[in-house]
Amino acid sequence: MRLTVIGTGYLGAVHAACMADIGHDVLGVDVDVEKITALAEGRPPFYEPGFDEVLTRALASGRLRFGTSLREAAVHGEVHFICVGTPQRAGSHAADLRYVDAVVDGLVPHLPASCLVVGKSTVPVGTTARLTARIAGLVPAGVRADVAWNPEFLREGFAVEDTLRPDRIVVGTVGRESDETLRRLYAPMLEAGVPYISTDPSTAELVKVAANSFLATKISFINAMAEVCDAAGADVVTLADALGHDTRIGRRFLNAGLGFGGGCLPKDIRAFTARAQELGVGPAVAFLAQVDEINERQRTRTVELARQLAGGDLTERRVTVLGATFKPNSDDVRDSPALAVAAALHREGADIRVHDPEGTENARRTHPELRCEADLLTACQGAELVLHLTEWGQYRELDPVKLALVVRKPVLVDARNALPHDEWRAAGWTVKALGRPAPADRPPAARAGKPLRATIASPAVEADHA
Ligand code: UDX
């Protein structure tokens, strides 16, 4: 099929290359000439594992090309995917749909034949209905442009995998024809057994924001438990492991620490709250404000912990921050908890060095005040405090014995609960983490290192707490 993918950010670029990879004839379109040039030359404009290969393969097949013209897109596509950003509107929590509207306004008047416009961007519920009315006023006489919503659930760092082998495909359509077109388009995935959920556009739009709200709630839930663990001298990692064995709960997204960031989760829960308020059902999702608050608090708690370890004053203290991106295996620093903490420490006068395997270029752009070091050991040289803020695999491989020789004081805050604390302590480090009081700070029963199940089952311990 002839497809256009309009908007070639993370979502659009990966979607365009993957659709060409499964056999479609794809034109990717963006207003950003630099990005389009890079993509057309096979140079990914962002770091995403596996994207390089699929882009090269798709370009070599001759089924993928890039351009900047919506007129050209109008002529090329039987199906047009809208993949542009829906950022937070300035001065409000609502989504800014100006880029989505601009695509429709630039594309629809030039359509030479009937086609299907498919939204993939994360949008407020009701957007398909609104765009249908907008398109009706723009479409040339005798041409029909139906609208469908097909949300995208890809995770950065796994974008190619998630696009080629998604957990599910959700499409919201009006009428059988659009649904059949999308079934044909995704046929290779459907044949491979990927569940296909066909519904109305409003439900499809909601699936995406509901999924992200649930994930955000799950993370904030475990971070709230981490705060309780700190007060009670309990261990949130063991707690999460024990909770996760219950298949109704599951262990994924129960990693306590610095909380969520990125271009999706924080913005999506805020936009969802704003939309629910518009719909008069604000109280139904009022809990999301707390989810957001708990999440923000983990950043403050990490800064407080750093200040406390620095003896109450961070002025001119040498602090090394490991990680700048919002998550590992990405170069994305949008709403990065790690950079938010680094910037807060800098404001308190700390002398900061930031290290990240892929994100320093973006970090330099958004936070020019922070000093980024490309080399890990140089970043740690003379540090009085090391903060582990994004859990890149290479930090787990660090040798704490060697690193102790480079720093001035071997003090570590593992704000992602991802490093082997016992090894670091054995190498002479003072290790602090969120929701995991150090063994010496724990009550005697926990210090004995009894497995959680045995502790809970023990009547003696229950009596202790009675
Ligand atoms: C998210 C959704 O997972 C994806 O389905 C959607 O399409 C876009 O938004 P992404 O933003 O790429 O994807 O990252 P994700 O892996 O969900 O992580 C989001 C944030 O939560 C990261 O900052 C991560 O560090 C944090 N996180 C995740 C935790 O703090 N704890 C966890 O247990 C899991």
- Reported as a single tens digit per residue, the pLDDT across 49-60 is 999 999 999 999
The mean of the pLDDT values for the chain is 94
In sequence order, which residues have a C-beta less than 8 Å from that of residue 283 and are 6 or more positions away? none
Q: Which residue has the tokens 């950065």?
A: 156
In sequence order, which residues have a C-beta less than 8 Å from that of residue 130 and are 6 or more positions away? none
Mean pLDDT of 280-294: 98
Ramachandran quadrant class, 449 (left: phi over 0; alpha: psi -120 to 50; beta: rest): left
- What's the CA-to-centroid distance between 256 and ligand 1, angstroms? 12
CATH topology of domain 2-197: Rossmann fold (3.40.50)
Q: What is the pLDDT of residue 126?
A: 97
Would residue 229 show up in a list of annotated catalytic residues for this protein? Answer: no
**Residues 383-403: pLDDT tens digits?**
999 999 999 999 999 999 999
- pLDDT surpasses 80 at 463: no
- What's the CA-to-centroid distance between 138 and ligand 1, angstroms? 38
Mean pLDDT of 248-268: 97
Three-class DSSP category at 66: strand
Is 326's C-beta closer than 6 angstroms to any atom of ligand 1?
yes
- The one catalytic residue among 18, 115, 264, 380: 264
Q: What is the pLDDT of residue 195?
A: 98
b/e per residue 291-301 (b: at least 16 CB within 10 A) = bbebbebbbeb
- pLDDT surpasses 50 at 220: yes
Q: Which of 123, 163, 152, 158 is nearest to 252 (CA)?
A: 158
CB atoms within 10 A of CB 89: 15
* Ligand 1 atom showing the smallest separation from residue 259 Cα: 30
Q: Which of 219, 222, 254 to mutate to test the pocket of ligand 1 (most atoms within 8 A of CB)?
A: 219
- What's the CA-to-centroid distance between 295 and ligand 1, angstroms? 12
User: Confidence band (pLDDT; 50, 70, 90) for 438?
Assistant: confident
Locate 215 and state its tokens: 């994930």
User: Confidence band (pLDDT; 50, 70, 90) for 453?
Assistant: very low
- pLDDT surpasses 50 at 458: no
State how far the Cα of 237 lies from the Cα of 222, in Å rounded to an integer. Answer: 9
Q: What is the pLDDT of residue 439?
A: 78
- What's the CA-to-centroid distance between 388 and ligand 1, angstroms? 18
**Residues 82-124: pLDDT tens digits?**
999 999 999 999 999 999 999 999 999 999 999 999 999 999 9
Q: Which of 86, 260, 322 to mutate to test the pocket of ligand 1 (most atoms within 8 A of CB)?
A: 260
Q: What is the pLDDT of residue 445?
A: 60
* Ligand 1 atom showing the smallest separation from residue 254 Cα: 33
CB 439 within 8 A of CB 433: no
Calculate the dihedral angle through the C-alpha atoms of 345, 346, 351, 357, rounding to the nearest 10 degrees. 80
CB atoms within 10 A of CB 59: 18
Q: What is the pLDDT of residue 333?
A: 97
In CATH, the architecture of 210-447 is: 3-Layer(aba) Sandwich (3.40)
User: Confidence band (pLDDT; 50, 70, 90) for 313?
Assistant: very high
Is 81's C-beta closer than 6 angstroms to any atom of ligand 1?
no
State how far the Cα of 261 lies from the Cα of 296, in Å rounded to an integer. Answer: 10
CATH 3.40.50.720 domain extents, the chain: 2-197, 210-447
The model carries a pTM of: 0.93
Q: What is the pLDDT of residue 451?
A: 44
Mean pLDDT of 307-319: 97
Mean pLDDT of 123-137: 97
Q: What is the pLDDT of residue 444?
A: 63
Q: What is the pLDDT of residue 440?
A: 75
- pLDDT surpasses 90 at 419: yes
Q: Percent of the chain, pLDDT > 70?
A: 95
**What angle, rounded to 10 degrees, do the helices at 265-278 and 287-309 form?**
150
Mean pLDDT of 369-376: 96
In sequence order, which residues have a C-beta less than 8 Å from that of residue 98 and are 6 or more positions away? none
* Ligand 1 atom showing the smallest separation from residue 262 Cα: 11
**Residues 20-36: pLDDT tens digits?**
999 999 999 999 999 99
* Ligand 1 atom showing the smallest separation from residue 337 Cα: 23
State how far the Cα of 291 lies from the Cα of 51, in Å rounded to an integer. Answer: 33
Is 255's C-beta closer than 6 angstroms to any atom of ligand 1?
yes
- Beta strand 2-6 pairing with 79-82: parallel
- pLDDT surpasses 80 at 420: yes
